[in-house]
Amino acid sequence: MATDNTNIVNYTDDNIKTMEGVEHIRKRPGMYIGRLGNGDDQGDGIYVLLKEVVDNSIDEFSMGFGKQIQITVTEKEATVRDFGRGIPLNSVVKAVSVLNTGGKYDTKGYKKSVGLNGVGLKAVNALSEHFYVEAYRDGMSSFAEFRMGKLVDSGQKPTKEKNGTMVKFIPDEHLFVGYTFHMDIIESMMKNYSYLKKGLTLNFNGTAYKSENGLLDLIKDNMSETPLYEPIHLIGEDVEIVLTHGSSYGENIASFVNGQNTRDGGTHLAAMREGVAKTLKEFYKTFAKKDFAPEDIRQGIIGAISIQIQEPNFEGQTKTKLGSTYMWETDIENEDGSHTYDQGPTIRSFVNDFIKTNLDNYLHMHKEIIPVLQQKITESETERKEISTIQKKTKERNKRTNIYNRKLRDCEIHYNDKLPAAKKEFAELTSIFITEGDSASGTITKARDAKTQAVFSLRGKPINCYKESRKKVAENEELNLLINALGVEDDMENLRYNKIIVATDADDDGMHIRMLVLTFFMKYYPDLIRRGHVHILQTPLFRVKNKKEVRYCYSIEEKDKVVREMKTGVEITRFKGLGEISSNEFVEFIGEKMRLDRVKLSDEESIAEIMEFYMGDNTIDRQNFIRQNLRSEAELEDVNI
């Protein structure tokens, strides 16, 4: 069969393009800062930009220059002024606009910094509508002004300013659509910086943040429950650890590397979890002739770890997970031109050895902690064994009745052994929809991407876990099967899906089911929420169409706006359940255009207080909250044009 080549574009030298300056960052921002966002979430890009600037100032302080950083932020603009050495005057333009240019490649300049890839300020510049930098050194300053990453002015002039660097930027609203800097998110960022850098003062919008006790202050300031014993504070060279236990479920351990908040953990957090479990296991074997399991030792643990390493390797540009194996890896060039490869201890052995020595010593010196901790571990062990027995019986019964396969439609990368290579590649793309009823689950199952998206179908409303015992919850078939599907019966690190998406109808029953599922996660698996795995699927309330187009609206306001734009011949459909939306339509809502609300839970929020308010006894406060926020069905049905 002949092939028609008339429409094929010639592939010539003219097709080979080189992007100048920071053009590639503007073209592919996600490669450099993760997601864009509008500022509603702490992981949104505008906070990554601010962090990149502050990190440079933090690195100056870490090297012994400048004890104060001034940060001024409005809804749209951020300014950071430090009092370090200042960018070398003749390199200011290059330092903020030429990729792979920076002063941190040689560890002599910055031994243990966060920004090592020469991208930080370049990304801020590239993704800003307006970017201004000025360096002050010994009575002279060098400045540069950019718009959309393009240089518009630069020069040098005398100055009376103290040495240091000032950066001012306005993120590009074409990229960060409708963005706003939220001060509470930035305030939390400033507090973390102060906890990690004792002696540093951060002045944020007129308020000074400074810590005298490091991570101990972080734990005490953010603890939402009374600890079972006074937090243990261990400090060594390049490592600081705080730990205690509470009565809540799960593990709540914050982790940091070189001042960077690694929200997704990494090798250092894994090492702390292992080190604490191994040390306490060996201690109680000797002291009390008890052989405790690691999961019982870690149940209810509250803590934090901060380490300092050379040239850290983070997974992803946003630096939320440490991937480094060693404390340092250095290629040393000798005088004769040969190279010596110097490799330090592994992070695992470094952290494990530190905990083994110091935690063991601490317990011997503070013997009042020993019985308190032993009782906590014993209670966790007793409860776990009871629950494990129940779960095994339920699992066996469900296997015999084949109920598990009817409730979970798994994704290909989990059940297809022919895709081992794809498992790692798609790990961060995997998600599971938790929905209710055959109609809704059937719709999502038909519309999903079967390679990466799974569906779990609930039958009716799960029990309210708030006032139920863990044993009673374990006996609940629906929730037992859900945890089995997620893979977190024994350890949250075994989680099978990156995103857990609660997909319920936008009516009273759907909202109630959503609250019951979230209560379950919040009480027994809070780490799933803290690490950003739990989301709520937004589904459209209305379909608005005329002869030319169809548009889906997620609120009354959005519907009214679309109706005004379409003007005439408009037909409006109000969706009351997921089952009313066809699978062909649903493809739009769970693909690239999927709207998700991440369920947020900060370290300082009290889980008990949140659950008591929403799921406890009906109080006047809750009634008033509902009245103020509830929209009646009549409002939703009002589709007058």
Q: What is the pLDDT of residue 155?
A: 94
CA dihedral 6, 12, 14, 16 (to 10 degrees): 120
- Say how far residue 123 (Cα) sits from the centre of its chain: 20
Residue 55 and residue 197 in contact, taking contact as beta carbons nearer than 8 Å:
no
* Contact partners, residue 337, CB within 8 Å, separation at least 6: none
Strand 78-82 vs strand 150-158: parallel, antiparallel, or unpaired?
unpaired
With respect to CATH, is domain 215-330+341-381 assigned 3.30.230.10? yes
Q: For the chain, what percentages of helix, strand and coil (3-state, to nearest 5) are there?
A: 40, 20, 40
With respect to CATH, is domain 402-539+576-605 assigned 3.40.50.670? yes
Which amino acid makes up residue 239? V
**Nearest CA to 631 among 514, 506, 537?**
506
Residue 80 and residue 134 in contact, taking contact as beta carbons nearer than 8 Å:
no
Q: What is the pLDDT of residue 600?
A: 79
Rounded Cα distance between 497 and 587, Å, is 20
Rounded Cα distance between 95 and 110, Å, is 15
Q: What is the pLDDT of residue 118?
A: 46
Fold exhibited by the domain 23-209: Heat Shock Protein 90 (3.30.565)
pLDDT < 70 regions, the chain: 1-21, 99-119, 316-319, 394-395, 397-406, 415-427, 506, 579, 602-619, 621-641
Q: Is 270 helix (H, G, I), strand (E, B) or coil?
A: helix
Structural Rg of the chain based on CA atoms: 27
- CB atoms closer than 10 angstroms to residue 439: 15
Is residue 545 classed exposed, middle or buried when 0-12, 13-18 and 19+ CB atoms within 10 A define those classes? middle
Is residue 423 classed exposed, middle or buried when 0-12, 13-18 and 19+ CB atoms within 10 A define those classes? middle
| DSSP collapsed to 3 states, 345-376 | CEHHHHHHHHHHHHHHHHHHHCCCHHHHHHHH
Query: What element of type H or E holds 243?
Result: strand 239-245
DSSP category for residue 212 = S
**Nearest CA to 407 among 389, 434, 382, 443?**
434
CA-to-CA separations, 618 to 516, 623, 632, in angstroms, rounded: 15, 7, 20
Tokens read off for 332? 């040393």
Residue 132 and residue 92 in contact, taking contact as beta carbons nearer than 8 Å:
no
Q: What is the pLDDT of residue 54?
A: 93
Rounded Cα distance between 363 and 413, Å, is 45
Rounded Cα distance between 5 and 639, Å, is 52
Rounded Cα distance between 353 and 255, Å, is 18
Rounded Cα distance between 84 and 316, Å, is 28
Q: What is the pLDDT of residue 627?
A: 59
Q: What is the pLDDT of residues 39-68, one digit of tens each?
A: 888 878 899 899 989 988 988 888 889 999
Q: What is the pLDDT of residues 162-202, one digit of tens each?
A: 999 999 999 999 999 889 999 999 998 899 899 988 889 99
Q: Is 562 helix (H, G, I), strand (E, B) or coil?
A: helix
CA-to-CA separations, 487 to 304, 388, 451, 494, in angstroms, rounded: 25, 14, 18, 6
**Nearest CA to 30 among 20, 50, 45?**
45
**Nearest CA to 90 among 99, 103, 100?**
103
- pTM for the full predicted model: 0.74
Residue with tokens 């809502």: 589
DSSP category for residue 139 = T
Q: Is 239 helix (H, G, I), strand (E, B) or coil?
A: strand
